[in-house]
Each structure stands twice: as C-alpha cells, then as structure tokens.
Amino acid sequence: MNINKKYEKYTWKQEYETGVMFIDHFHENFMNLTNTLIDVVYNKECAEKIIMVFHRLANYIEDYLVKEEMYLQKIGFQGFMEHKAEHKAFIKEIISFQEAYEKHENICLNLLIYVDNYFKNHILSGDKKAVKMEIS
C-alpha cells in the first residue's frame, strides 16, 4: 500500500467534465470531498472530522449513484452491469470502513487511499467513458 504517497488536492478542470450537468455537479462534490479528506489526514483531524466525511460519502451514495445508473441505462451503455458492480463494490467498501471505524480502528489514511483511487479510476475515468459510451 502506498502509505508514503503525497496526496495533492485537486482543482476542477474542464477535462474532468462529462458534459452532463447533474453528473458533473456530483463529481465536483466528490472531488471536494476527496480534498477534505486529504486535509483531514494531513492535519491529523481524523477523530473530529471522520463522521462528517462518512456523512458526505453517504450523500454521494444515496443521492447520486442510482441517478447515474438510471442515466447510463437510459443511454444504453453496454458496460452497464460491470459499472453498476463497481458502485456496489464502492458501497460495500465504505460500509466496511465505517464498521472498522466503529471498532475504533484508525482508518483515515486507508480511507483516503481508497477514495482518491476511486475518484481517479472510477469518476474521472470509468464514468467519463461510460457517459461518452466508450467501451474500454
């Protein structure tokens, strides 16, 4: 695991956009959430702020993922089932982070590694390909 990796905060760029407004809106929110988590880890504020981070992750899951799935189904994205499986894996992983936190495990850095990776590989890459209907 790349524990020593230095995390850089993101700035929203035009190249991140899918061109679908509600998707870009939630994607930018997720980027902001990733930035917050970077601050939490580097400022050692895990104990005070992890609940707020979980709350924002829950919002992303509850308010957005089903909407994105409905959209991808509507446009007939061929990789839909695999894409939906990635969402499911994300939800499962966040729940297990939450359970580990409830057992008083120090999960902040590992959560950052996971969330940062999801932002880069799912949101900036997978979602964009899906909306543009590119088969990877």
**Binding residues for Fe ion, per CB under 5 A?**
127
Residue with smallest beta-carbon separation from Fe ion = 127
39-52 as b/e: b if 16+ CB within 10 A: ebbeeeebeebbee
> Closest separation between CB of residue 6 and Fe ion, Å?
27
Between 19 and 104, CB nearer to Fe ion: 19
Q: Can you read off the two tokens belonging to residue 66?
A: 């089903």
Per DSSP, which regions of the chain are E strands?
none
> Closest separation between CB of residue 43 and Fe ion, Å?
29
> Closest separation between CB of residue 37 and Fe ion, Å?
19
Between 77 and 101, CB nearer to Fe ion: 77
* Alpha carbons 92 and 44: distance in angstroms, whole number: 26
> Closest separation between CB of residue 23 and Fe ion, Å?
9
Between 43 and 117, CB nearer to Fe ion: 117
